[in-house]
Amino acid sequence: MIPVIRPIIAALIVFAAPMPALAQMDGHGPDAWMVSGVASDDTLNVRTGPGTDHLVIGTFAHDATGLRMITCVPYLPRRIYHALSDSQRADLPPRWCLMESAESGVSGWVSAHYLAEDTSAAQTQMDPLDPLVARGVALVRRLYDHRKRAQRGEGVGPLAPSTARDYFFADLVARLSGPVGADPLFGTQDADVEGLHIRPAPERTMHRGLVTVHAQFRNFGQPQTAIVRLRVDPALDPPALRIMRIEHQGWSFP
């Protein structure tokens, strides 16, 4: 029996092993990551690009947690990855991931070899979001994701009259049909956005039915936060959260 069992176990290990690796390849997986495998007297270099030939622009501590994964290279959808042979997978170049730390403000490329799912107490003991807040975060995330798809030419954008009611109160939809000046989502007329992260407001996330969500990003390299205010819209059937205001530094819509 032993000669049979060992090949079966080995096959299971081979089958299971690519899954966390794939999560790093296509940018999907845990909400938070941590540095792993770095000596306690060392740090993980953060670089301008995916490879050791790129300039070091910062570091993550050997025990850094709460890191957010933006994307990884090489990029491979799951269906393509699983269609590769073992030799093709072995020939793939080392994986590098674009990561950012909400606490330190450091962001850049690091070797995926030193990344693991964040299992720290700060992540595993977090209280679950209030269901209404969770729906607010999901709505804002869909809004910005919709906008990114539209910028890639994948259909009409979320500010168009035909789609805006999915996100905004009716009076804001009417305002969007005319000139509004700066971009309501990014607060400027021109946008070159990276590192987008949607999260509940750190304070007074929900107050008297008002849900507050932060959209944090860098526009032309400068960190910005859009403060999104939502309430339940009773005019909808069934009633649902809709955006009533988006605030930027020195400007808001409406």
Q: What is the mean pLDDT of the chain?
A: 81
Stated pTM of the model: 0.53
Decide if pLDDT at 216 tops 60.
Answer: yes
Spatial strand order of the sheet with 43-47 comes to 56-61, 43-47, 107-111, 96-101, 67-73, 33-35, 115-117
The CATH T-level fold of domain 131-253 is Nuclear Transport Factor 2; Chain: A, (3.10.450)
Q: Could you give the residue range(s) of every CATH 3.10.450 domain in the chain? A: 131-253
Q: Whose CA is closest to 217, among 189, 234, 180, 192?
A: 192
User: How do residues 218-232 score in pLDDT, each as one tens digit?
Assistant: 888 888 999 999 999
Which one is predicted more confidently, 48 or 9? 48
Q: What is the pLDDT of residue 22?
A: 46
| pLDDT > 90 fraction of the chain, expressed in percent and rounded | 40
Reported as a pLDDT band with limits 50, 70 and 90, residue 27 is: very low
DSSP 183: -
Reported as a pLDDT band with limits 50, 70 and 90, residue 204 is: confident
Q: Could you give the residue range(s) of every CATH 2.30.30.40 domain in the chain? A: 2-121
Phi, psi of 225 (to 5 degrees): -135, 125
d(CA 214, CA 165): 20
Q: Report the CATH architecture of 2-121.
A: Roll (2.30)
Q: What is the pLDDT of residue 209?
A: 86
